[in-house]
C-alpha cells in the first residue's frame, strides 16, 4: 500500500500499511528520532505474509510528518502516546497488537496501562521499564557515553547529519557483531533525504515525560513478549529481564550478540516470534 497522510488533532502523520485490513492488526512504534523507515519493509511484508495487517508510521518531527522548529517542540512526550492512538483511530482500528522498540516500547507500555482496551498484546523490544519504580538497572556502556560526549554534527548539512546518525547506529549496534556500515548508511541517507526537517529530529531529546502512569507494570494485562539483545549497549539485558519479571506472564527472548534495535540477522527469529505471540494472544482472547 502507498503512504497515507492522516490528521491527528491537527498534526499530520505519515503512515504505511501492509497486508489485508481484515487481518489482526499490528502497530509498529519506533524510538525517538526514528521515522517509519527504521522498521525494515522486509519485516513488515513478512509479518503481513503471516496474516497480519501491519502499520508503521513517522513520529511527529520525523519523516514526512509535521515538524516543529528545531529546539522548540510544541508538545511533550505524552503526545507520542496520543499519536499512536490517533493512528489506530484514523485507520478505524479498535485495538491492535503493539510492537514498540526503544522509546516506542515506552509508548506501548503507557498505552497498556492507560488504554488497556486498545492493546491486544505487547512486544517490547530493546526497551526499559517505563514506570517510576525504584530499580537498580545498569546504565549505558562507556562506548555510548563516549559517542555522546564527542559527537559533532551540523544539522544544516545533510552529509554531516548522515555521518552523525551512522556513527550513532554503530554505537548502538554494540561490539559483538560486525557493523554493516553500507546497509546502515543507505538507510540513513534515505531517511535524511525523505525528512521534512532533519534538524527537528533533535526535538525528541527535549521531551518531558513527567506525570506518567502511576500504575505498576504488574497491572499490565496484555500478553507480553520482551525481545532484547544481550549486547545492547544502551539498555543492557537487565532492562529487558526486569520487564519480563514485572509484567505478569511475560516471556523474554534474548538475542545472542544483538545490540540496540533490530538487526537484519535477527529478522527470522523476531518475525517468527511476533507472529507466534500475536497468534497465541488472539487465540486466548477468542478472536
Q: Are 79 and 102 in contact (CB under 8 A)?
A: no
The cell for 94 is: 479498535
β-pairing, 53-57 vs 25-29, is parallel
Query: Which is it for the CA torsion 250, 258, 143, 186, positive or negative?
Result: negative
Q: Does 197 qualify as catalytic in the annotation? A: no
| 227: helix, strand or coil | strand
| Tens of each residue's pLDDT in the chain, 287 residues | 789 999 999 999 999 999 999 999 999 999 999 999 999 999 999 999 999 999 999 999 999 999 999 999 999 999 999 999 999 999 999 999 999 999 999 999 999 999 999 999 999 999 999 776 678 899 999 999 999 999 999 999 999 999 999 999 999 999 999 999 999 999 999 999 999 999 999 999 999 877 677 789 999 999 999 999 999 999 999 999 999 999 999 999 999 999 999 999 999 999 999 999 999 999 999 99
pLDDT digits (tens, 9 = 90+) for 87-126: 999 999 999 999 999 999 999 999 999 999 999 999 999 9
Query: Which is it for the CA torsion 169, 103, 207, 133, positive or negative?
Result: negative
pLDDT digits (tens, 9 = 90+) for 196-224: 999 999 999 999 877 677 789 999 999 99
Q: Are 257 and 231 in contact (CB under 8 A)?
A: yes
Work out how many domains the chain is built from and give that number.
1
Identify the CA nearest to 99 among candidates 262, 283, 264, 221. 262
> What secondary structure letter does DSSP report for 71?
T
Catalytic option among 59, 228, 260, 277: 260
Q: Does 89 qualify as catalytic in the annotation? A: no
Catalytic option among 102, 126, 128, 169: 102
CATH code where residue 190 lies:
3.40.50.1820
Domain span including residue 252:
4-284
Catalytic option among 83, 232, 263, 266: 232
Would you say how long the chain is, in residues?
287
Q: Does 102 qualify as catalytic in the annotation? A: yes
Beta strand residue intervals within the chain, DSSP E: 4-8, 11-18, 25-29, 53-57, 96-101, 119-125, 224-229, 251-255
Amino acid at each position: 500500500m502507498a503512504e497515507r497522510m492522516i490528521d491527528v488533532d491537527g498534526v499530520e502523520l505519515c503512515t504505511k500499511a501492509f497486508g489485508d485490513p481484515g487481518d489482526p492488526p499490528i502497530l509498529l512504534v519506533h524510538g525517538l528520532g526514528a521515522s517509519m523507515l527504521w522498521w525494515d519493509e522486509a519485516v513488515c511484508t513478512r509479518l503481513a505474509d503471516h496474516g497480519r495487517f501491519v502499520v508503521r508510521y513517522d513520529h511527529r518531527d520525523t519523516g514526512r510528518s509535521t515538524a516543529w522548529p528545531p529546539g522548540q517542540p510544541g508538545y511533550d512526550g505524552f503526545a507520542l502516546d496520543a499519536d499512536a492512538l490517533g493512528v489506530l483511530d484514523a485507520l478505524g482500528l479498535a485495538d491492535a497488537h503493539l510492537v514498540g522498540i526503544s522509546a516506542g516500547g515506552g509508548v506501548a507500555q503507557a498505552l497498556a496501562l492507560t488504554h488497556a482496551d486498545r492493546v491486544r498484546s505487547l512486544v517490547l523490544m530493546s526497551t526499559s521499564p517505563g514506570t517510576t519504580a525504584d530499580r537498580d538497572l545498569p546504565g549505558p556502556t562507556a562506548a555510548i557515553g563516549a559517542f555522546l560526549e564527542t559527537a559533532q554534527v551540523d544539522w544544516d548539512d545533510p552529509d554531516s547529519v548522515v555521518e552523525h546518525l551512522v556513527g550513532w547506529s554503530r554505537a548502538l549496534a554494540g561490539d559483538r557483531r560486525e557493523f554493516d556500515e553500507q546497509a546502515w548508511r543507505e538507510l540513513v541517507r534515505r531517511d535524511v533525504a525523505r525528512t521534512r526537517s532533519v534538524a527537528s529530529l533533535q526535538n525528541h531529546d527535549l521531551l518531558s515525560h513527567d506525570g506518567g502512569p502511576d500504575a505498576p507494570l504488574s497491572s499490565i494485562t496484555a500478553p507480553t513478549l520482551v525481545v532484547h539483545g544481550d549486547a545492547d549497549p544502551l539498555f543492557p539485558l537487565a532492562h529487558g529481564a526486569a520487564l519480563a519479571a514485572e509484567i505478569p506472564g511475560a516471556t523474554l527472548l534474548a538475542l545472542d550478540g544483538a545490540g540496540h534495535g533490530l538487526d537484519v540477522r535477527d529478522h527470522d527469529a523476531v518475525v517468527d516470534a511476533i507472529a507466534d505471540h500475536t497468534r497465541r494472544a488472539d487465540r486466548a482472547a477468542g478472536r
